Every structure is written in C-alpha cells, then in structure tokens.
Amino acid sequence: MPPILLAVDKTYPKGLMWFRRDLRVDDNAALYHALRKCRQVVCVFVFDRAILDPLPRVDRRVEFIRESLVELDAELQALGSGLLVRHAVAQDEIAELAHALEVQAVFANRDDEPEAIARDAQVFGALANAGIAFHAYKDQAIFERDEVLTQTGQPYTVFTPYKRAWLAKVDDFYLKPYPVRGHADALGPVPEKFHAPVPTLANLGFEKSNLAELDIPTGSQGGAALFDDFLQRIERYRAVRDFPAVRGPSYLSVHLRFGTVSIRQLAGAAHRLAQRGDEGAATWLGELIWRDFYFQILAHRPHVASKDGSHSFRPEYDKIQWHHGKHADLLFEAWCKGETGYPLVDAAMAQINQSGYMHNRLRMVVASFLCKDLGLDWRRGERYFAQHLNDFELSSNNGGWQWASSSGCDAQPYFRIFNPVTQSQRFDPEGKFIRRYLPQLAKLSDAVIHAPWTASPVELQAAGVILGENYPNPIVDHAEARERTLQRYAVVRK
C-alpha cells in the first residue's frame, strides 16, 4: 500500500473530485489521487443537461444513476464528507463551481468517448484560464489508449493477438486496487451554501421507470451483490453463456458502465481464477478484454462513432447500398416492436423493450437479422440500442454492430449469416426464453415454436395461435434474404 502522505507534503490545499462514470468510493483512481494530493477534497456529480435534455422523460439509466448517487452520498457522509450534486451543463458548471469553492485542482477519471473528450477539453481550457489544474486518470479499463500496441507501435485491429498481448502484459500492478479509505481523512464536507439532497427524478424532469419492478440492484452495494453471486457460478460461464433462458451472465454490464464496480476488481478475480484453470473465468475475462479492445479502437479511430454519424471501420463497407424507403421503414418498425415473425428475434426485442437488457447471444442474432435478413443499415440498430440499453457503452455497442454487419475490425465475415431459426433451436431448444417473452406462443410444442409457420393448422388452433393476428407471419424469407445479402455485399468484394 502506498504510504499516507502528511498534509504538509500535499500539492494543493483544496481539490474537487468530479464523479462521472465512476460512482463508487472504493478503488477509484481519481478519488485516490485527489486525496493523496490535496489537504481537503470536495466531491461533486453533475447531472449534465447536455446529455439528459435530449433523452425521453422515462429513462432507466437516469434512475439507475440517481439511485446510485443516493448510496454514494450516504457512503461519503459516513466518511465525514458528502456529495454535491448539480443539474447543469457540466462543461460550464465545473469551472464555475471550482472557482466558487476556491479549489486549486479538479480530479476526474478519463472518458474516451468523442463528446466526453470535447467536453473535457473545454473544461480544461476554462480551468486553465482561472489558474486551476485539471488531472485525469485511467479507471474504466485495465489497459487504455496506447498501453497495448503491436511490435511496430500500432494499435491492434484484430482481437486474438490483442488478447495475447493483453494477457502477456497484465500483472498484479495493473490489477491492484487503489486504497482510497486509507486517505479518507482528506475528504471535506460539502460547504453549507452548496448542500442539498440528491435531486429527485421529478426535480430532474424525469418520471419513474420500471427499474424497481425489474429488481435491478443499483449502487456499489448492488454491484458487489451481483459479483458475489456470479463468482458462485463463474466456472459454468463458458458452458451456459449462450443460452438466454439460463442464468449464465454476470449481469454486471450496467455497473461497469456507470462505475459502481471496479474493473480492476472484476478482472483481478477472473484472472486469478483463470490462472488456476477455471475455464469459465478465463472465458469471462476474455469478455472484459473485448471491452478494453473496443475502448482502444474508439480512442484510435473515433470516426467509427462520430457525432455526425458512425462510419465503418473498414471504409469499403460504407459503399453498401442498404434497403431504404417506406418499406424499409416498415421493416425497421417491425424489428423494433418484435413483430418480425421469427420468435427468437421477437422475444429478444421484447426483452430489451421491457427491461433495457438483452442477452449477448441475442444481440448478435437480432443485429445479424436487421442487417442481413432485412438489409437495413446497421447504424439504425446501433442507434436503437443506444436509446434502450441500460448498459449502453458507445465503444462496445458500435463494435458489436460493426461486427454483426461485417464492417468492423475483426468482424464476422459477410458471408456468415445467422439463421434465426437454427439459432433458436440451438440456444433455446425448449423455447423457454421465447415462452417468457411471447406468451401467445407458449402452448406451441418445442418442435415448432422456433418457426410457427411450419406448424400444422391443427397445432396452431390447439395452441391458440392465429398467424397474422396474434402473431405475425415472417416478414422475410430467410433463404431469399440471404441471397440478397450476398448480392448486396458484392460491392465489398469488388
């Protein structure tokens, strides 16, 4: 553990800790460094109007953040401090607040999303003009930016060699937690004139979602409980992760997104278990490495998710002529509503629409269906996921959609096209997941529930299914759509 520095050794009399996507006390890089460098630290979170104002008035993510902040505030109060919460444009508010609090430095953890980089540049400039320092630290990833490069000093664009290099480099130093509580005596109270409770959703202009009904745990305590549960079954992860009706995933993605868990804690535990031969832990660690991989892709190639529209990582794929017009819009609407006539696709879309979550295998299935069965631009699906996923992560969402559309780095070859029926038969063989989200199909047999149009009239009648009325006929024929996709992608071959 690093030594605790005496107050006289500290660089700044007073500092401001700006929480963003790191809503926890323990193992928080920026908070640790702020406490080490300042005699007194005040903590702040800004509900950024630049982000919140365009959102619909019911958004589970805003509610998740708000509930997590209540816990964070209580935890900081227990340490003799508290959390100053503002509802403003962060780009303007931080510099104004730093001046009003008379701090000499602002501390934050880095965010490599393009809009966050632009915001931080503006904040840095405003603070510099006021003579206030701005320090940013790595906290979202184990390795970021230029930390894992090829032997020629270039960023990796293929995952497998990146993973090998990642695993070769990682050690206890990179996985070691920051001992924040050992320096918590530097936490200062929120000045009385700024003190106020965490605003309610109504104060922020939002309405309650179904977050509580979904029993999604919030805050660092919720993240810790989920991780403890997952560790009891992590050894089975590799065997069960692709089956949506099974409790296989960790369900920690939303906690990673908002930093209510530490990536060092998760990767450290998985790495230790993997070294002991736990295949489930090794597979899950690979998923965390994918997350780092997509972070560094976005950092080096921000054009893949630029504000004016995402571009293909592989430029030749931007030449593809996607289906467009009124008919395309109708197909997209059917996909969004889960009314494609393909039960696994529709059940997956019902899951995201009802809960803001979608099983990872199903994300691949519905993305492939949108691009390669319906012939629609992957960017439409990318935007829909961005609006609806509780765990929306720009880099991973963009990377996943580009993977499915074959336009990204290390993507699925364009000629590999998921068959939604065989995917259903393989990964939901008993139709349990389908029955949960499409109860109108619940009485169909396991043999036909994956493709109701193959059922006999007697079977349909017995199950109470009327195709075209209480469940749609398929909106496309998969075999025909596959041939059209191969023709559409011919431009890439040329």
**Looking at this protein, which amino acid is placed at residue 405?**
S
Average pLDDT, the chain: 95
Instruction: Answer whether residue 253 shows pLDDT above 70.
Output: yes
Per-residue pLDDT, 46: 98
The percent of residues in the chain predicted with pLDDT above 70, rounded, is 98
144, 147, 235, 287: which one is catalytic?
Answer: 287
pTM exceeds 0.85 for this model: yes
Phi, psi of 209 (to 5 degrees): -100, -165
18, 166, 284, 401: which one is catalytic?
Answer: 401
Instruction: Answer whether residue 226 shows pLDDT above 50.
Output: yes
pLDDT band at 184 (very low <50, low <70, confident <90, very high): very high
CB 58 within 8 A of CB 31: no
pLDDT band at 142 (very low <50, low <70, confident <90, very high): very high
Instruction: Answer whether residue 156 shows pLDDT above 50.
Output: yes
Structure tokens at 408: 């990204």
235, 360, 419, 459: which one is catalytic?
Answer: 360
Q: State how far the Cα of 127 lies from the Cα of 45, in Å rounded to an integer.
A: 17
Q: What is the mean pLDDT of residues 106-130?
A: 97
Q: In this structure, is the dihedral angle defined by the CA atoms of residues 63, 64, 65 and 71, taken in order, positive or negative? A: positive
Q: What is the mean pLDDT of residues 11-31?
A: 98
Instruction: Answer whether residue 218 shows pLDDT above 80.
Output: yes
The percent of residues in the chain predicted with pLDDT above 90, rounded, is 92
> Which residues have a Cβ under 8 Å from the Cβ of 94 and sit 6 or more positions away?
16, 18, 44, 46, 106, 123, 126, 127
Q: What is the mean pLDDT of residues 66-93?
A: 97
144, 203, 322, 459: which one is catalytic?
Answer: 322
The answer to whether residue 166 is catalytic is no
The answer to whether residue 18 is catalytic is no
- Residue that is written with structure tokens 């931007």 in the block: 318
Can you name the residues that pair with 135 across neighbouring β-strands? 107
The answer to whether residue 360 is catalytic is yes
- Cα–Cα nearest to 334, from 348, 346, 322: 346
C-alpha distances in Å from residue 458, one per residue of 343, 431, 442, 465: 19, 20, 16, 10
Instruction: Answer whether residue 444 shows pLDDT above 70.
Output: yes
CB 461 within 8 A of CB 273: no
Q: What is the mean pLDDT of residues 448-459?
A: 98
pLDDT band at 415 (very low <50, low <70, confident <90, very high): confident
CB 254 within 8 A of CB 395: no
Report CA 167 to chain centroid distance, whole Å: 22
CB 254 within 8 A of CB 226: no
> Which residues have a Cβ under 8 Å from the Cβ of 207 and sit 6 or more positions away?
57, 58, 201
- Residue that is written with structure tokens 């979550």 in the block: 357
Domains along the chain with CATH numbers: 1-138 (3.40.50.620), 140-178+221-300 (1.25.40.80), 315-493 (1.10.579.10)
Q: State how far the Cα of 42 lies from the Cα of 101, in Å rounded to an integer.
A: 9
pLDDT band at 494 (very low <50, low <70, confident <90, very high): low
The answer to whether residue 378 is catalytic is yes
The answer to whether residue 390 is catalytic is no
Query: Which has the higher per-residue pLDDT, 327 or 3?
Result: 327
Per-residue pLDDT, 469: 97
378, 390, 393, 397: which one is catalytic?
Answer: 378
DSSP string across 257-314? HHTSS-HHHHHHHHHHHHHTT-HHHHHHHHHHHHHHHHHHHHHH-GGGG-TT----SS
18, 166, 290, 403: which one is catalytic?
Answer: 290
Q: pLDDT tens digits for 254-311?
A: 999 999 999 999 999 999 999 999 999 999 999 999 999 999 999 999 989 876 667 8
Instruction: Answer whether residue 2 shows pLDDT above 80.
Output: no
- The strands making up 12-19's β-sheet, listed across from edge to edge, are 83-88, 38-48, 12-19, 105-109, 133-137
Can you name the residues that pair with 280 across neighbouring β-strands? none
Per-residue pLDDT, 309: 65
The answer to whether residue 403 is catalytic is no
